[in-house]
Amino acid sequence: MKQPGQPTWRDPGLLVLTTLVDRPRHGYSVVQEVRKQAGVTLGPGTLYGALSRLESYGLVESLPADGRRRPYRLTEKGRQLVEAQLDGMARFLRINGHTEERGLFTPVPRN
């Protein structure tokens, strides 16, 4: 069961969170990275709705605007949630025979 503030792997929120693991990004950069990583194109309503929810849950925070662009970054709580979600997916893949040897799982670097 989905809990408020804890996006699942199918949720656009988790896709957004994973793009922020390596560095802060503004909206367009998030959309481009989600497209590159997951093959999903987030529309503006989906993207900014997800960012708003993630910010209200304390998972991301906005940084000062750079012109028209407002970057977002993960909070520590957001980073912990991403790690927990990815660990759960990795466990699922290992249990179901999708291991690193098959090239379907690459650990995410931890900071």
User: pLDDT tens-digit profile of 59-102?
Assistant: 999 999 888 889 999 999 999 998 888 887 777 766 666 555 55
What are the angstrom distances between the C-alpha of 94 and each of 35, 53, 61?
Answer: 26, 31, 33
Where do we find the tokens 């179901």?
96
- pLDDT at position 108 over 60: no
Strand partners, 66: 69
pLDDT bucket at 16, cuts 50 / 70 / 90: very high
Which residue type is seen at 97? G
Rounded distance between C-alpha atoms, residue 63 and residue 103, angstroms = 36
Amino acid 84: pLDDT: 87
Backbone angles phi, psi at 22, to 5 degrees: -90, -25
- Give the end-to-end CA distance of the chain in Å, rounded to a whole number: 29
Secondary structure class of 11 (helix, strand, coil): coil
